[in-house]
């Protein structure tokens, strides 16, 4: 079975583990996927989630999480030979301009020539926790969030990156993101996608 390694990196505590769990659940339901039980390493769960899916050909999708709270020593193994990087950040922090700068700074490095990410591995920018962002917007502070979202769409376009806004909580755009993940080793050239929430005019 062909292994397909995906690195899940991003900001600390932004929802990477829950995103992987939502993608694994989607694979189980829609691709007859089987998630292998995670091993226990030194008292921590392994950062690797392997899912065997039955697509055109059976394959194993291996998510390697770069976690800030567990398995720190194993994170150096997350990048070598990866096929795709999902760089995650929390959308409920979009109203903080310093935070936006921090995300862009990290992504700028990852897509630069100096990066430890292989140059052939594409990077998808993934905004997580869109349900929490919407809660904050509903509380009346929506302008800063809309501006932040537009800014990331623009940034993704400028750098030829795909961009998704998701929620592991309510499964928003999880199917679309999973499709992008399993399509990432197809040889046919793909159109760059920006999948975000619809703008509601009040
Ligand atoms: N409401 C909501 N909460 C979320 C969502 N995704 C993650 N969270 C919460 O955000 C917190 C951090 O989630 P994790 O998945 O552990 O984040 P992480 O990026 O894996 O964290 P580290 O591995 O420590 O870097 C937890 O309290 C989650 O329940 C989401 O889509 N919606
Ligand atoms: Mg985690």
- The order of strands in the sheet holding 123-128 is 34-35, 48-54, 58-65, 2-10, 84-90, 123-128, 162-165, 194-195
Query: Which residue's CA is the closest to the ligand 1 atom numbered 30?
Result: 129
Domain boundaries, the chain: 2-201
Looking at all shown ligands, the one closest to residue 13's CA atom is 1
Q: What is the DSSP letter of 168?
A: T
Give me ligand 1 centre to Cα 168, in Å. Answer: 9
Higher per-residue confidence, 68 vs 202: 68
Report pTM: 0.90
Residue 140's alpha-carbon distances to 91, 111, 135, in angstroms, are: 16, 35, 9
The answer to whether domain 2-201 has CATH 3.40.50.300 is yes
For the segment 55-101, what is each residue's pLDDT rounded down to a tens digit? Answer: 777 889 999 999 877 666 677 788 999 999 999 999 999 999 899 99
CA 201 and chain centroid, separation: 28
Question: Does residue 191 register a pLDDT over 60?
Answer: no
Ligand 1: residue of 15, 129, 172 to mutate (most ligand atoms within 8 A of CB) is: 15
The alpha helices in the chain, defined as continuous H runs, are 16-30, 97-110, 130-136, 142-158, 174-183
Measure the CA–CA gap between 10 and 124, rounded to whole angstroms: 11
> Is ligand 1 within 6 A of the CB of residue 15?
yes
Whether residue 128 has its Cβ less than 6 Å from ligand 1: yes
Distances from the Cα of 84 to the Cαs of 29, 40, 124, 194, in angstroms? 23, 25, 8, 17
pLDDT digit string, tens, across residues 97-119: 899 999 999 999 999 998 888 88
Helices (H) and strands (E) in the chain, counts: 5, 10
Rg of the chain (C-alpha set)? 17
Checking if the pLDDT of 142 tops 90, the result is no
Q: Which atom of ligand 1 is nearest to the CA of 170?
A: 31
């Amino acid at each position: 079975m062909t292994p397909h390694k995906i690195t899940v990196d991003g900001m600390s505590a932004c929802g990477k583990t829950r995103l992987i769990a939502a993608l694994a659940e989607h694979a189980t339901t829609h691709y007859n996927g089987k998630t292998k039980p995670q091993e226990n390493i030194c008292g921590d769960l392994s950062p690797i989630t392997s899912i065997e899916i039955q697509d055109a050909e059976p394959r194993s999708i291996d998510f390697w999480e770069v976690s800030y709270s567990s398995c720190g020593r194993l994170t150096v193994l997350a990048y070598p030979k990866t096929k795709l990087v999902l760089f995650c950040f929390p959308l409920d922090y979009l109203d903080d301009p310093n935070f936006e700068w921090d995300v862009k700074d990290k992504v700028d490095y990852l897509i630069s020539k100096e990066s430890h990410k292989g140059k052939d591995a594409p990077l998808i920018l993934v905004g997580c926790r869109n349900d929490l962002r919407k809660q904050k917007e509903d509380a009346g502070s929506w302008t800063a969030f809309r501006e932040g979202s537009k800014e990331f769409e623009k940034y993704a376009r400028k750098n030829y990156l795909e961009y998704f806004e998701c929620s592991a909580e309510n499964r928003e755009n999880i199917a679309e993101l999973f499709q992008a993940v399993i399509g990432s080793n197809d040889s046919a050239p793909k159109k760059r996608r920006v999948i975000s929430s619809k703008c509601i005019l009040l």
